Structure 1
Amino acid sequence: MGNMLEDLSLSSSGSPTPNDSKNNSDKEILHDEMDDKTKYSLTYRDYLERMPLASFVSFSSYQPMRLSPRERILLDVLESALDVSEYVNNVDVSRSEYGMYYFGSSYFYSSMDVSINKYSKATIIKAQHEELRNTLIGLMMSYNYKECLKIINKEELFEDFLQDTFEVGRRFKIANPHLLRTTYQEMMHILQDAILYNPSFIGKNFEKTKKFKEILTVGKFAKENNMMGIFNEECFKIAVLPTDEKTSNGKKEEARRFLINSYGENTERLLLSVSDGFAAASANCGVVHQMLKDLQERFTEQTKYTDLTIRYGTRGSCLSHSHAEQLIFVSQSLTLWWNVMQNMPHLWEITDAEFLSGTSYRLVNTGQGLQRMQSAPNVSGAMYQILSHTQTKLCTTGWRGLSVVHMGDQDVPNCLFFIDKYSQVPWIVSPIVKTATRVFKDRDPRLEKYFERISRESWSTYIYGDFFKHGFDGSGSDGGSCIDGRLTSAWNWCSMIEKYLFYPLFLTSDFEGFCGPYKK
């Protein structure tokens, strides 16, 4: 089966050209050729430090830029406006092909996009856009009266204001997937309809181009400010990577001061943006790496307590695997997730461009309510590249399960669903790793009865083993062994956590759920 963590990076190789933004969705996700037989023992920081320069630069350049003070005001304005908006409730309504009895007469509306008042969908969208526009103006007026007067009295400035505001919202979501949960999708639907139905909502220039402002990434920011040389500086890695035993805070600060003095005042924001991205990647990839490492170290040998055998029909399992087969199946699934986590900034960028590409959508009842079904060939292609690379590195004994990536269908209606699903991987994995690890460390005397008959190590193994078996057994609605079905099975396991014998151990580990650090 080989080393499951070998050659996992999918960053670009060769001379980097960060964020050549004409067509982000056409960029290929490539892999570097880091040959490291000891990657199991590496921390994520060490992995980044050993990454080849070209791959490191490419990885750095896709990170979203930190918000400036003015951009934070725009974000507050946008969030407040979206909080009170009911755009989706008013626009995404089912077809009105129904008969009705009204004042003693029968009427039958055959048009797909009519309400009781026979307003077309385009008319409703324009009214909702106008309402949002007025809300944004009112909120901005409360922040800066004089600036707002200038904006509303000049069409070009108001268009720039809208473009900047929506770009800030999209960029902030990429950097913080756990935030804007109730408003991000609504914002994207508003922007999607602006392209298809009401381009005048943004402005005259937008009517011609139908292009929203591109996400400001580190690579684009460096290019705009003539700072491309910073990526080739020897101290760049020291300045952006977290400190460790070898690198003190003093060395890191010294490297940052040198770069700031060499490239100007904008340098600090760029360095902090890269550091933010690496901190997020370290958290996301780190927990998957830890689970994969524990799987290899503790479940390779089949014993009474580490047996991963699953049988069709047992606890809802839709698959039948021997211990060896399930071990490989889980290892490959976790490694694929690791690869996806590594490439999340780039996948977010492609998703943003794809959803706002102007491709039409259909309103479909998928079983999860009315959803906008839209094809996403670029996001699907990027995912297949990641899958292909994972299979190439792991398939010495053959890929286990199906290789189907659902996109633009009943299971994954659009690319926003896709990116949201995979953004939640660390939220699933982290509580399990935390609980299985903390069982060893927590010496609370109130828990000692739990360990009188069953040792701490056995409880930890039991928690892991149950997830490895029934979090990857093809269960759950539309589960199975396909790429998305593996994640569906994991969510199905999580949904029944209260029923498991070890649930109290989760509660002692500050468990609050598998939905991440929730904020609106």
Structure 2
Amino acid sequence: MSSIEFDSLTSGKSVLERAKYIPIRLTFEERKKLRLLEATLTVSEYTDKIDTIRTFGKLKRIKEQCEEICAILCGLMVAADYQKGQELIANKNFQDNEEFFQDVFEIGRRYKIMNPEKMRGTYGKLCYIIQDSQQPEVQEMLGFKLDRPVKTVHWFLEQHDALEILEDKDIDTATNEIFANGKTRMQVEEEIKMKEKAAKRICKVYSESCEMEEEDIEKCLYSIGDSSAYLRQAVYPVETILSFLLNNFKRDDYEDGHSLAIMAGHEGARLSHNHAIQFDFVYQTLTLWKNVGRDMFELWFLAERDLFSSTHTYSLRNTGQGLNRVQYCPNVRRAMEKLLSQTQNSTSSWVGSSVIHLGDDAVPNSLMFIDKYTQISRILNPIIQTITEIDNYMIKDQNLKEYINTTFGGPEEAKMTILIDLFRHGFDGSGADNFFMAGSCIDGRLTSAWNFCSKINKKNYFPLFLLGGFIGFDGGSGFDR
């Protein structure tokens, strides 16, 4: 991927527009607080005590657990920095420390948005604590709030009346990620110099005109750069798989043995598509995933808005996957409907269902929605790595070369074996517990992909994955409770 293609990652949105949803980097002091939060959430048994079928006295239990978590935070603060810890607890109650608690919880959320692979066992707990604390009855008992909007680049610059930085002529050069693909070392070094020069000019010019520290402006530029790197990580795997589809298959024609056709009831498929329809189905699904990945920052902010809503409360019920908090998600739903409409308008016809599962047994709440879509890269990256490594296997070892030639008929056929199986059974409507939650719905397409991953060890090409160091698709929930 070249830097020219960067607009495809941002949907053509300006930096000014994107900055509204780009979290600002953590400072050194904030990272200290983050460690305190992670330690507190790790030892907490919040959801085990709150999310139970026992409803009697729930509000009181929520209050007690919130206070216990705040007490642990204060205790750890004393242990980490005695003087600052004493300032927190000396002749003070929890209400007096409301700003500190809001600050710590906001830091954790901000860090998670920029690093989806982190806090995998604690973020869900953090969100559910804030969600419960938003209930009017709980807030009345607690006497303080835990929720605070996540600090963004746009917010930070707005505080300093410096939003003009985001419209500077060099802002793209100073923040876009530099891709090395297909470039010489000299070209890459030249782009790095241009990026550094643009960043230095912006910091110098606006530190004088906006009366800001150069370090603060630099932090904003780095934060935007972080978001650019994240977008590539989220979108590039989908674009790569899309290129595999378009470069190796034709919609209206196929070679013997290379058909993508599937039939309901055969090899676990729940859908019946001929080759052309399945080609369209896969193409449209991947395009939708790419569009979701490009807007993931905005979707994450909307998801938290839905989750922490005091208007739309949740109900605890058994969804077939244990007890889950089922909650209406109006903001995320509207955003997904818009993305789905954009995807549908970019294709000649739409294959399958357009049902978006949100706030039901399939996707109980917006937290689970984010969980699902941040895992797309975890599904696709091991497949991409295996396919791209096959040619290297032919060079590395004569025995590997003989194995690939004998088993698959050569490296190209080995790649096609993996791709055909992926495009057939990674998109066949399988994987759900019942008929209504399976099939071609928007959520079901991702369920099919995970079902395909769960059966990878039974495939005849599985040794090719192991040869590349494959250890799993990392299918564990990013928001374990």
> Do Structure 1 and Structure 2 share a fold, with TM-score over 0.5?
yes
Equivalent positions of 1:306-345 (< 5 A) are 306-345=258-297
Write the deviation string for residues 299-328 of structure 1: whole angstroms up to 9, x where unpaired: 114112431011111111111111111000
Q: Tell me, in whole angstroms, the C-alpha distance in 1 between the residues paired with 2:463 and 2:320.
A: 33
Contact 1:45 1:241 in 2 (8 A): no
Match of 1:429 in 2: 380
C-alpha contact 2:175 2:224 (8 A) present in aligned 1: yes
Q: Counterparts of 1:399 and 1:54 in 2: how far apart (Å)?
A: 26
| Residues 179 and 370 of structure 1: CA distance in aligned 2, closer, same or farther (over 3 Å) | same
| 1:229 corresponds to | 164
Cα displacement string for residues 20-53 of structure 1 (whole angstroms, at most 9, x for unaligned residues)? xxxxxxxxxxxxxxxxxxxxxx646623389797
- CA distances 1:341-370 after superposition (whole Å, capped 9, x unpaired): 000000000001110011211110111110
* Residue-by-residue CA offset, 1:357-397 (whole Å, 9 max, x unaligned): 11211110111110011111111111111001110111x2x
Fraction of identical pairs, as percent: 38
Matches of 1:274 and 1:73 in 2, distance apart? 23
- Contact 1:292–1:334 (8 Å) recurs in 2: yes
**Which residue is 1:413 aligned to?**
364
Q: What amino acid is aligned across from residue 178 of structure 1 in structure 2?
A: E
Report the Cα distance in structure 2 between the residues aligned to 1:269 and 1:430, rounded to whole angstroms.
30
Contact 1:305 1:458 in 2 (8 A): no
Q: 1:312·1:318 contact (CA, 8 Å) conserved in 2?
A: yes
Of 395, 400, 407, 2:351 maps to: 400
Q: Matches of residues 94-243 of structure 1 in structure 2 within 5 Å?
A: 94-95=53-54, 113-114=55-56, 120-153=57-90, 154=92, 158-196=97-135, 197-199=137-139, 203-204=143-144, 206=145, 212-243=147-178
The aligned counterpart of 2:411 is 456
RMSD, aligned α-carbons: 2.1
CA contact (8 A) 1:380 1:407 kept: yes
Selected match of 1:294 from 223, 236, 244: 244
Aligned partner (choices 417, 423, 447) of residue 468 of structure 1: 423
What is the CA-CA distance between 1:475 and the residue it aligns to? 0.7
TM superposition shift of 1:224: 1.4
- Which residue of the partner structure matches residue 440 of structure 1? 391
Distance 1:192 1:424, change over 3 A: same
Q: State the 1:242 CA deviation.
A: 2.1
Q: C-alpha displacement at 1:200, in angstroms?
A: 5.4
Instruction: State which of 345, 349, 352 in structure 1 corresponds to 2:304.
Output: 352
Counterpart mapping for 1:33-72 below 5 A: 43=2, 46-48=5-7, 55-72=14-31
Is residue 63–residue 142 contact of structure 2 (8 Å, CA) maintained in 1?
Answer: no
SS at match of 2:134: helix
Between the aligned partners of 1:308 and 1:138, the Cα distance in structure 2 is: 59
Give the corresponding residue for 2:183. none
Instruction: Work out whether residues 238 and 251 of structure 1, in 8 Å CA contact, stay in contact via their aligned partners in 2.
Output: yes
Q: Partners in 2 of 1:419 and 1:354 — Cα distance?
A: 12
**Mapped partners of 2:8, 2:363: distance in 1:** 36
Which string of whole-angstrom CA distances, capped at 9 and with x for unpartnered residues, describes residues 64-116 of structure 1? Answer: 11111111011100000000000111111114xxxxxxxxxxxxxxxxx23xx
Looking at structure 2, the residues matched to 200 and 144 of structure 1 have their Cα atoms a distance apart, in angstroms, of 31
C-alpha deviations, 1:410-451, integer Å up to 9, x for none? 111111111100010111111111111111233331422322
Alignment CA distance shift 1:45-1:355 (3 Å): farther
The corresponding residue for 1:284 is: 234
Q: Structure 2 CA distance, aligned partners of 1:225 and 1:67?
A: 18
Q: CA deviation at 1:123?
A: 1.7
Between 260-269 and 481-490, report the one with greater CA deviation.
Answer: 260-269
Offset of 1:293 from its aligned partner?
1.1
TM-score normalised by L of structure 2? 0.89
Alpha carbons of structure 1 residues 241 and 449: separation in structure 2 relative to 1, 3 Å: same
Residue pair 2:354, 2:441 contacting (<8 A) in 1 also:
yes
Alpha-carbon deviation of 1:452? 2.3
1:234-259 Cα distance to aligned partner (Å, 9 max, x none):
11111111235375211111111111
Which deviates the most, 148-157 or 286-295? 148-157
For 1:161-186, what per-residue CA distance to the aligned partner results, in whole angstroms no more than 9, with x for missing partners? 00000001111111111111111111
- The Cα shift of 1:469 comes to 0.3
Give, in angstroms, the shift of residue 146 of structure 1. 1.2
Q: 1:517 to 1:229 in 2, by over 3 A?
A: farther
Q: What is the TM-score when the length of structure 1 is the normalising length?
A: 0.83
Paired AA for residue 224 in structure 2: V
Whether contact under 8 Å (1:427, 1:514) holds in the other structure is yes
User: Within 2, Cα distance between the matches of 1:50 and 1:377?
Assistant: 26
Match among 444, 451, 459 for residue 500 of structure 1: 459
CA contact (8 A) 2:19 2:152 kept: no
Runs of 4+ residues deviating >4 angstroms: 49-54, 154-157, 200-204, 516-520
1:110-131 Cα offsets, whole Å, 9 max, x none, are: xxx23xxxxx111211221221
Corresponding residue for residue 182 of structure 2: none
Structure 2 partner of 1:382:
335
How far apart, CA to CA, are the structure 1 residues paired with 2:242 and 2:289?
A: 10
SS at match of 1:314: coil
**Structure 1 residues 340 and 318: alpha-carbon distance in aligned structure 2, compared to 1, 3 A threshold:** same
Higher percent of residues as helix: 2
Q: Which AA in structure 2 matches 1:279?
A: A
Amino acid at match of 1:172: Y
Q: Could you tell me which amino acid in structure 1 is paired with residue 78 of structure 2?
A: M
Q: Find the aligned partners of 1:152 and 1:88 in 2 and give their Cα distance.
A: 26
CA separation of 1:184 and 1:43: change in aligned 2, threshold 3 A: same
Paired amino acid for 1:250: K
